């Protein structure tokens, strides 16, 4: 049942409002209201599966009740805002692999007006990892005989000539782990083996890699190291700002790093909102973008305030700063982006696999027919790739975007209806 209830605002904090609806108190999102004060009355829409939103402009008590009694106040939900959008054409780029899949899985693309185009950017850590990095991991496994510990998605990403799965069939020792700390525990339990963890990912997975190094050094382990391909998002936003009108910022990354990167992009003329991952949170984020975009001014809004704060996790940031330093980094499809990567500081070089094993630089050669690079830049969509759904499927992937469960090609294949048939 869809019910709109009048409620009095009791308290406002971090984008959330505590409201009282006839004695029932609850927290609701205030994302769609720019000016709201304690004591104002609002209409709260609580229908599932729509977001619980403050959906009307605040009014003082006398005005509110007059409007409520007359029945002339229109209740607007996030779904109303989205479905009734009649503004200019807009390209929204999500830069989070989880957003890619959840937007498809929840059917959000199907309710967007035709002038709203959602494109997938470089938000999948496996997808942006370059071919040369896979070749370096293969070199370690096959030429140096080390035990390679890696996340499962990375095992099937093709290198220039084979994948880690292919190398394992040739006798290479490849262990699938769920955390960098699992790799550290493996090295601790197998001190007779040289163990290298493939450290890929953004600011969400980098702190655990730093913690693994910290514990390995504290335990005196000499058989554990990282092959780093850690990346940071701010410079990627800068590189991609001409590809979209607004970003759907990744809630996981911003939970660690805070909202400063998104706020800074407003000064560059780029709009965006931080989004969560439930249906309610994603609908709210899209509604905020579509409500603000026609105003013609760059904007930023944190639509995930229950998790994301302005400062983020200071302890995680301090850990990264202690063990890592910025470096230039290659992104699949985007090339080398200055200062967009992280590498171990010199004082921790004993855990740096590149220095420990003298790994040569490898450029890598991707399949020339694969358009993963263009897809990650928003230049094309997966069905426009000539290999999509034919030579490239989740069972037999050619490109990284089809391998990873967070990849755009994988999402289009799984949820894209008949697009691949």
CB atoms within 10 A of CB 111: 13
Shortest CA distance to 7 belongs to which of 38, 50, 47? Answer: 38
- Please provide the DSSP assignment of 20-75 as one string: EETTEEEEEE-TT-S---TT-EEEEE--TTS--EE-S--B-HHHHHHHHHHT-PPP
Under CATH, which architecture does the 87-118+234-302 domain have?
Answer: 3-Layer(aba) Sandwich (3.40)
Tokens encoding 148: 């390679």
Topology match between the domains 4-76 and 87-118+234-302: no
Q: Is 248 helix (H, G, I), strand (E, B) or coil?
A: strand
Parallel/antiparallel/unpaired status of strands 4-13 and 24-29: unpaired
**What does the pLDDT read at residue 177?**
95
**What does the pLDDT read at residue 64?**
55
Tokens encoding 207: 């702190």
Torsion sign, CA atoms 117, 336, 400, 366: positive
User: The domain 126-231+313-357: what is its CATH number?
Assistant: 3.40.50.11740
**What does the pLDDT read at residue 1?**
38
Shortest CA distance to 51 belongs to which of 247, 273, 265, 303? Answer: 303
Q: Which residues neighbour 179 within 8 Å (Cβ) at sequence distance 6 or greater?
A: 208
Tokens encoding 317: 């940031």
Within 69-177, strands assigned E span: 90-94, 116-120, 147-150, 174-176
Residue tagged 């709109």 (tokens): 4
**What does the pLDDT read at residue 48?**
29
CA distances from 402 to 162, 177, 331, 396 (A): 16, 21, 17, 9
The alpha carbon torsion through 150, 390, 374, 272 (nearest 10 deg) reads -80
**What does the pLDDT read at residue 2?**
41
Shortest CA distance to 342 belongs to which of 327, 353, 320? Answer: 327
Parallel/antiparallel/unpaired status of strands 41-45 and 300-302: unpaired
pLDDT beneath 70, residues of the chain: 1-6, 28-35, 41-75, 417-421
pLDDT digits (tens, 9 = 90+) for 55-90: 444 555 555 555 555 554 456 799 999 999 999 999
What is the pTM for the complete model shown?
Answer: 0.79
Q: Running DSSP on this structure, what letter comes out for residue 93?
A: E
Residue tagged 């399949």 (tokens): 367
**What does the pLDDT read at residue 10?**
86
Cα distance between residue 289 and residue 115, in whole Å: 13
Residue tagged 């969400």 (tokens): 204
User: The domain 4-76: what is its CATH number?
Assistant: 2.30.30.140
Cα distance between residue 277 and residue 109, in whole Å: 15
Q: Where are the domains of the chain?
A: 4-76, 87-118+234-302, 126-231+313-357, 369-415
């Amino acid at each position: 049942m869809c019910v709109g209830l009048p409620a009095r605002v009791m308290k406002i904090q971090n984008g959330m409002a505590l409201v009282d609806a006839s004695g029932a108190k609850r927290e609701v999102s205030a994302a769609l209201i720019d000016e709201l004060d304690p004591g104002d009355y609002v209409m709260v829409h609580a229908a599932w599966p729509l977001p619980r939103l403050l959906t009307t402009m605040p009014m003082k008590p006398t005005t509110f009740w007059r409007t409520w009694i007359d029945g002339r106040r229109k209740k607007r939900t996030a779904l109303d805002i989205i479905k009734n959008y009649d503004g200019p054409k807009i390209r929204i780029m999500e830069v989070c692999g989880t957003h890619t899949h959840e937007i498809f899985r929840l059917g959000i693309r199907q309710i967007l007006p035709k002038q709203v185009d959602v494109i997938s950017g470089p938000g999948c850590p496996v997808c942006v990892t370059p071919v040369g990095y896979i070749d370096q991991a293969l070199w370690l496994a096959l030429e140096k005989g080390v035990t390679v510990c890696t996340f499962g998605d990375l095992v099937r990403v093709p290198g220039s000539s084979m994948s880690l799965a292919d190398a394992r069939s040739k006798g290479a020792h490849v262990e699938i782990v769920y955390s960098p700390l699992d790799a550290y525990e493996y090295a601790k339990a197998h001190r007779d083996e040289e163990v290298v963890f493939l450290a890929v990912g953004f600011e969400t997975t980098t702190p655990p890699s730093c913690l693994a190094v910290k514990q390995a050094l504290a335990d005196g382990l000499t058989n554990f190291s990282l092959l780093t391909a850690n990346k940071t998002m701010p410079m990627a936003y800068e590189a991609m700002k001409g590809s979209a009108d607004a970003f759907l910022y990744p809630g996981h990354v911003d939970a660690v790093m805070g909202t400063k990167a998104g706020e800074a992009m407003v000064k560059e003329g780029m709009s965006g909102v931080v989004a969560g991952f439930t249906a309610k949170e994603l609908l709210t984020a899209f509604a905020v973008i579509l409500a603000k975009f026609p105003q013609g001014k760059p904007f930023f809004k944190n639509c995930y305030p229950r998790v994301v704060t302005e400062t983020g996790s200071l302890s995680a940031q301090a850990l990264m700063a202690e063990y890592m330093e910025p470096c230039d980094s290659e992104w699949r499809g985007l090339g080398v982006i200055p200062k967009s990567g992280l590498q171990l500081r010199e004082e921790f070089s004993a855990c740096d696999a590149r220095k420990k094993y003298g790994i040569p630089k490898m450029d890598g050669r991707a399949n020339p027919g694969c358009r993963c690079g263009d897809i990650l830049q928003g230049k094309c969509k997966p069905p426009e790739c000539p290999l999509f759904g034919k030579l490239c499927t989740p069972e037999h992937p050619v490109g990284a975007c089809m391998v990873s469960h967070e990849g755009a090609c994988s999402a289009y294949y799984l949820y894209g209806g008949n697009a691949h048939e």
